[in-house]
Structure formats: C-alpha cells, structure tokens
Amino acid sequence: MKKNLLTLHDVSLKEIAHIFDLARKMKKNKGRFDHHLKGKTIALLFQKPSNRTRVSFEVGIWQLGGNCLYLGPDEIDLGKRESTSDVAKTLSRYLDGIVARTHLHQDIVELGKNATIPIINGLSDQFHPCQALTDIFSIQEKFGTLKGITLAYVGDGNNVCRSLMLGAAKVGLNMNIASPQGYEPADDIVEIIKPIAQKTKAKITITNSPQEAIRGAQVVYADVWVSMGQEKESAERLKKFRDFQINSALVKSADADYVFMHCLPAHRGFEVTTEVIDSPHSIIFEQAENRLHVQKAILIFLYSNKKI
C-alpha cells in the first residue's frame, strides 16, 4: 500500500524509530544497503533551488543503487503548463517515487493525493519533514537520548519550526520557540501538536523572549530570518528580528554543554554570529551530513521491498 511523507503526521513514533535505526546502521556501514533501490527511478521535482536537499537525495539514491532524475522548474512548472494532478498521474506511469520541493504545500498535497507512487516532501512553505527528522536524529546521536532534552528554536515560526514542533511532540522532546510578535508559529500547528505533546509529555513553549527560550537549553537552533520568496519583506524582517540573533551573550544562559544547530544556509552576522557558528558547540556540518543518512533511511522505508 502506498505511503507518503508529506508531513510528520504520516509517520508513527515506531516508524520514526525504525528510520533512525536504519540511518545509524547506514552511517556506520555505508556499503550494506547498496542495492535496495536497484532498478528504481526516483525523480526530484524541484520548484526551488537547493544545495543540501538536492545533493543529499541524489547521492543517497545513487548509493542505494537507484536512478535519479532531476526535474527543475524549466521542465515542469506545477499548475501552469498542466495541472498538478495531471503531472502526478503522468509521472506515476514512469517513476517509482518523487521527492518534491515546492513553493506551496498544497502542491505537495495534490501530488500525494493523485500519484500512485510514494511522494516525499523535500520542502514546502509549510513543512520540511526530512530536515526535522534529521535534526531530531542528530540530537539523539549527540546526547544518546531525547528524554529530558530541551531544544530552543529562536527565529521565524516557519516550515522548519512547524516540522520541528510536530516531530518534538511525537518523540517527547521538549521545545521552546522564541519569535518576534507576529512571527510565532501559526495557531493551526499549535492546536495540532497539543494532544500529541500531552501524550508524550513533551513540553512545547512559545515565547517572544529569546533569553527565556534559551535558558538551560541543551540545543540552540537558528534559521534564516528571510526565506526564499520573502525577499520583499527583508527590510521589515531584519528590523523585527535583530534582537533574536544567536550570539555569545545570548548563549551564556544555555546549558554549559549546549550544541548549536542550523538547517543552513546560514547568514552569518544576522541570525547567528560567526563566533557561535564556528565554535566547538556547533554541530551544523554533522547535522548537514546526517541529511544523507536519514534520507537514505526514508528512501528505503518508502521504496524498498527488501527485508532489512
């Protein structure tokens, strides 16, 4: 039966644990899973440019023995040259799966609804599930547990934040979110995670104070203040977010052994200072590497028929 990964709603806690277990095994023994996608072709259907998402998925598909086909906006412009539903139905006749990176989450939903092959959300304006799974995996890898760990996210309540909130609630990871007034996570995601967090006893807190969010946190997380498609808001956002910069003064209230994370690309001197991002506390490149291992695990989970 077809299974998608459009948001972290699509995977259970047991399935997340399975994906993490696969990722650990592949990171330790890179050649063990070489043929799990043999004979399969996965398309990267991208409306937005990408560094980590494209490279990690292309390399991952190749390492698993599959074929990767890149379809940029010049080849397929969803909803313009033809409807998203027609694209989904057509590509389902040629491919074994699609990783989509879209402007609108609704396009991901339409692909998932109309395709007969599994769809992976490689990023939309509302969610970034592969990034969130990688981040939580990286935290567990660093601390050996998620129990009692607090993730402090400082910045915009954007797609990365939304997925981290949903993932944290599912796995029982505490999360503090600090955003300027008017840029907090939307009410809909807050309502979605409440019953999940109650079940796992995850403490999810939203504040307008970065100092309050970071106090005692084992993980400090930053993201860009201006995402792709928000360039017209740059001046206003830079003004509103200037007190939310992760710097040496702010992180003094974090746990002494805190780690710094960023989904990248980073704008040094804006959401984070160079002294923090290049400090011994920073695990941003380990985090980036883990995109490869976790996404390979997701690919096997969704597309491989072989027993593991």
Could you report the per-residue pLDDT of 30-68, keeping only the tens digit for each?
A: 667 789 999 999 999 999 989 999 999 999 999 999 999
Residues of the chain by 3-state class (helix, strand, coil), percent to 5: 45, 15, 40
Rounded Cα distance between 105 and 107, Å, is 5
The boundaries of the domain holding residue 227 are 131-277
Q: Which two tokens stand for residue 130?
A: 């592969």
Q: For position 113, what pLDDT does the model report?
A: 98
Q: What are phi and psi of 122, to 5 degrees?
A: -90, -5
Classify residue 70: in a domain, yes or no.
yes
Are residues 137 and 273 located together in one domain of the fold?
Answer: yes
pTM of the model: 0.96
Using an 8 Å Cβ cutoff, are 34 and 304 in contact?
Answer: no
160-to-89, 125, 128, 168, 211 alpha-carbon distances in Å: 29, 9, 5, 12, 21
Q: For position 231, what pLDDT does the model report?
A: 79
128-167: per-residue pLDDT in tens? 999 999 999 999 999 999 999 999 999 999 999 999 999 9
Are residues 113 and 239 located together in one domain of the fold?
Answer: no
Are residues 95 and 171 located together in one domain of the fold?
Answer: no
Are residues 218 and 297 located together in one domain of the fold?
Answer: no
Q: For position 307, what pLDDT does the model report?
A: 59
Q: For position 59, what pLDDT does the model report?
A: 96
Using an 8 Å Cβ cutoff, are 223 and 155 in contact?
Answer: yes
Q: Which two tokens stand for residue 202?
A: 């995850």
Are residues 122 and 141 located together in one domain of the fold?
Answer: no
Give Cα 257 distance to the centre of its chain.
24
Catalytically active residues, by annotation: 101, 128, 131, 223, 263, 291
Are residues 271 and 135 located together in one domain of the fold?
Answer: yes
Tokens 């990286």 identify what position?
138
Are residues 136 and 108 located together in one domain of the fold?
Answer: no
Q: How many CB atoms neighbour CB 162 within 10 A?
A: 27
CATH of the domain at 121: 3.40.50.1370
pLDDT tens, per residue, the chain with 308 residues: 789 999 999 999 999 999 999 999 999 986 677 899 999 999 999 999 899 999 999 999 999 999 999 999 888 888 888 999 999 999 999 999 999 999 999 999 999 999 999 999 999 999 999 999 999 999 999 999 999 999 999 999 999 999 999 999 999 999 999 999 999 999 999 999 999 999 999 999 999 999 999 999 999 999 999 886 777 888 999 999 999 999 999 999 999 999 999 999 999 999 999 999 999 999 999 999 999 999 999 999 999 876 55
Give the pairing type, strands 204-207 and 219-222.
Answer: unpaired
Are residues 87 and 189 located together in one domain of the fold?
Answer: no
Are residues 44 and 112 located together in one domain of the fold?
Answer: yes
Are residues 228 and 210 located together in one domain of the fold?
Answer: yes
Q: For position 80, what pLDDT does the model report?
A: 84
Rounded Cα distance between 61 and 140, Å, is 25
Classify residue 266: in a domain, yes or no.
yes
In the chain, the number of structural domains is 2
User: Among 13, 255, 278, 253, which residue's Cα sits nearest to residue 143?
Assistant: 255
Classify residue 284: in a domain, yes or no.
no
Rounded Cα distance between 270 and 61, Å, is 34
Q: For position 308, what pLDDT does the model report?
A: 58
Using an 8 Å Cβ cutoff, are 158 and 147 in contact?
Answer: no
Are residues 119 and 150 located together in one domain of the fold?
Answer: no
